[in-house]
């Protein structure tokens, strides 16, 4: 929580949601909560950069690429042409659909949200 709570707040993720995400991932992956918190901090930052229309330093992913990957699995990043959905809702949608996605779809969505590294 310490590593990602500030980023979560900026992404409109409540501390309850963040704690839930970290707990579930820790129990499934057996990775440390510190590592998972750092990963979420990175994902929240990437999504915030997307919201601001910035390109990433380490890759050329832009808003279109993320939207296309999410749209491929019927998840919308925006709720209107000029407004983004809350990131927590997007993550919840991804989690709800994850087990129904094929390998290609999972790879596209994971790379769009979390990047290559």
Domain ranges of the chain: 5-114
pLDDT by residue (tens digit) across 35-49?
Answer: 888 888 888 877 777
Q: What is the pLDDT of residue 61?
A: 57
**Whole-model pTM?**
0.72
- Helical packing angle, 63-72 and 103-114, nearest 10°: 150
Whether residue 105 has pLDDT greater than 80: yes
Q: Residue 101 has which token pair?
A: 């996605």
First-to-last C-alpha distance (Å) of the chain: 21
Predicted confidence at residue 94, as pLDDT, reads 94
Cβ proximity of 15 and 1 under 8 Å: yes
3-class SS of residue 101: coil
How many CB atoms are located within 10 Å of the residue 4 CB?
Answer: 25
Model pLDDT, residue 58: 59
Average pLDDT score, the chain: 83
Residue matched to tokens 């790379």: 111
């Amino acid at each position: 929580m310490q590593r990602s709570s500030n980023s979560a707040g900026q992404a409109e993720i409540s501390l309850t949601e963040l704690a839930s995400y970290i707990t579930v991932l820790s129990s499934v992956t057996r990775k440390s909560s510190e590592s998972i918190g750092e990963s979420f901090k990175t994902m929240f930052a990437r999504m915030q950069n997307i919201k601001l229309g910035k390109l990433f330093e380490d890759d050329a992913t832009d808003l279109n690429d993320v939207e296309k990957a999410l749209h491929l699995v019927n998840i919308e990043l925006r709720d209107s042409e000029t407004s983004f959905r809350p990131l927590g809702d997007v993550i919840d949608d991804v989690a709800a659909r994850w087990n129904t996605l094929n390998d290609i779809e999972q790879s596209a969505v994971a790379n769009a949200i979390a990047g290559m590294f």
